[in-house]
Amino acid sequence: MDAESAFKLVGNFGRYQCFLAMLLFMCNFIAAGQLVLMVLVGATPNTTIPNEQNLTTIVTEFNLYDKPWVVELTQSLLMVGFMVGCFCFGQVADVYGRRPVLLIGGGVTGICGICSGFCQCWETFAATRFLTGVFVGATSSSAFVTMSEFLGKSTWAVVGLFYSCCFSVGIMLLALIGYLVQQWRVVCYITGGMFIAMLPLLILFLPESPRWLYSTGKTEEAERMLKMFARRNGREDGDIHLTPAERDTSRTHTLADFFRYKILAKWLLASVYIWFTCSLVYYGLTMGAASLTTDLYVGICLSGAIEIPATLGCIVFMNWKWVGRKGTLMLLFIIGGGSCIALIFVPGTYETTHLVLGLASKLAIAAAFAVVYIFTSEIFPTPVRTVALGTSSTIARLGSVISPFILLSVKSHPYVPYLIFGICMVLGVAVTFLLPETFARVLPQTVEEVVEPHKHMVSSQGNEDNAPL
């Protein structure tokens, strides 16, 4: 049997997999505190509001009142680091395994996060944020793939959406920490320390991905791992016998493999654009969260809270055969893009209308980002899945690098950011159309299953798409 058949015996989402999913939920929950940290520690306090009278940030301590670009630059450097981490460690995880990357990434992220709080000038602070970005990128890209590979295909989408919700809850927690502490250095210590506190749990309880073991030819180890899963789920393990996966053992799959076949190249390029759009719009709207209300902490909290119902609502649409993953993503792009473009034509005096359209666009892009994680992971075969996810996420960070500077144009041209965001999402509808629907499709275990569908019955794409470039 193959890995997917084995999971039907092991249990698609048994009690042991639930425990492992909770561990990896923590990674995304804690990562939010690092990726959105600048909304809080880079804020300019409004001393007319009681909640912000005692707030210290890098702006107040490093006297950056006349240098607003420093905050945007620091956030951009974080995302550049995230981009580097996703790209480099995505390939490392496919070669050496998911577990080592998660442990190293989580530990170093915590150290760098804590070091940020000891910086005595904005230059060193920016440098530590860059390093933090590198390793939180390694942790985030590997954590989602690892969690998915612990589960049976039938539960992947639902659990993946709950994983995305953890990021939203992490944003809300950051707002609470900021409200209670109001000292930017202490906030850095707390958010970095969370990664250090999580590390012993990962070391003790996180196993290697059985799907990765199977796809890399370590069939016996994968069998032992799956039997352990079965026992801890309270099931019999005697019938689990894996058939070695078809694979090219002469080399390791890399990014170059995507461009050996038209179908993989097309899917990767489409995935890259969609990820770029989601990241550009999501972080653009998130970094402007404080403008939702006059209270900094309420604004940050709202920006996280409004994501949860939209993300969970995707469960219904993604698992409805008439819509599926592809249709859900296209619908969200239409809603988000339409809301952003509509904002251009609404007079500034219509504050309620602005708020509703702004929330609608944030809800749509947050849900779209959650769908993209799942959709991308389901499209690509196991040997190159982390490379695909890492590459897409890497290019996506260009969007998050650019978005802070797009927001700087709000003062002189208030509608330019919304126009850019809206156009990108509308184009995303057309690009999504190029990708296959993955609802109820067997998860491809090897590259051969995708490029030779007539043998493996995994993809419905024609031979023209599967021809070498």
**Average pLDDT, integer, range 431-452:** 80
**Average pLDDT, integer, range 263-270:** 89
pLDDT of residue 455: 60
Q: Are residues 169 and 24 in contact, defined by beta-carbon separation less than 8 angstroms? A: no
- pTM for this predicted structure: 0.82
pLDDT of residue 187: 96
Q: Which two tokens stand for residue 173?
A: 């927690």
> Phi/psi of residue 468, each to 5°?
-60, 150
Q: Hey, which residues does 56 pair with through a beta bridge?
A: 183
**Average pLDDT, integer, range 292-297:** 74
How deeply is 220 buried, as exposed, middle or buried, from its count of CB atoms within 10 A (0-12, 13-18, 19+)? exposed
CA-CA distance, 403 to 382, in Å (whole number)?
A: 32
Q: How confident is the model at residue 269 (pLDDT cuts 50, 70, 90)?
A: very high
**For helices 15-35 and 219-232, what crossing angle results, to 10°?**
100
If one compares 384 and 398, the residue with the highest pLDDT of the two is 398
Q: Which residue has the tokens 């910086």?
A: 119
Residues in Cβ contact with 305 at an 8 Å cutoff, skipping those fewer than 6 apart: 168, 172
CA-CA distance, 319 to 161, in Å (whole number)?
A: 12
Helix (H, G, I), strand (E, B) or coil at 183: strand
Q: Total domain count for the chain?
A: 1
pLDDT of residue 343: 86
CA-CA distance, 245 to 211, in Å (whole number)?
A: 10
Q: Which two tokens stand for residue 462?
A: 């024609």
Helices (H), 97-218: 98-116, 122-149, 153-181, 184-205, 210-215
- Residue 190 to residues 33, 110, 176, 194, 195, Cα–Cα distance (Å): 9, 10, 12, 6, 9
Nearest residue to 142 via CA among 443, 311, 373: 373
If one compares 397 and 12, the residue with the highest pLDDT of the two is 12
pLDDT at position 453 over 70? no
Q: How confident is the model at residue 459 (pLDDT cuts 50, 70, 90)?
A: very low
- DSSP at 51: G
CA-CA distance, 143 to 85, in Å (whole number)?
A: 13
Instruction: Select the highest-mean-pLDDT range: 122-126, 356-360, 383-387, 443-447.
Output: 122-126
Interval 352-376: pLDDT, tens:
787 788 888 999 999 998 888 788 8
Q: Which two tokens stand for residue 283?
A: 């972080």
If one compares 77 and 44, the residue with the highest pLDDT of the two is 77
Measured at the CA of 247, the angle between CA 245 and CA 248, to 5 degrees, comes to 160
pLDDT of residue 382: 74
Q: 415 is in which domain, residue-wise?
A: 3-243+252-466
Interval 204-250: pLDDT, tens:
999 999 999 998 889 889 999 999 999 999 887 767 888 886 655 54
**Average pLDDT, integer, range 21-29:** 93
pLDDT of residue 148: 87
CATH of the domain at 391: 1.20.1250.20
Nearest residue to 92 via CA among 386, 303, 369: 386
Q: How confident is the model at residue 292 (pLDDT cuts 50, 70, 90)?
A: low
**Average pLDDT, integer, range 287-310:** 80
CA-CA distance, 81 to 117, in Å (whole number)?
A: 18
Q: Are residues 117 and 185 in contact, defined by beta-carbon separation less than 8 angstroms? A: yes
Q: Which two tokens stand for residue 330?
A: 């296209």
Of 28-32, 44-48, 272-276, 299-303, least confident by mean pLDDT is 44-48
pLDDT of residue 78: 94
If one compares 175 and 303, the residue with the highest pLDDT of the two is 175
Q: Hey, which residues does 183 pair with through a beta bridge?
A: 56
pLDDT at position 403 over 50? yes
- Residue 163 to residues 144, 148, 269, 341, 462, Cα–Cα distance (Å): 8, 10, 25, 30, 34
Measured at the CA of 445, the angle between CA 387 and CA 439, to 5 degrees, comes to 90
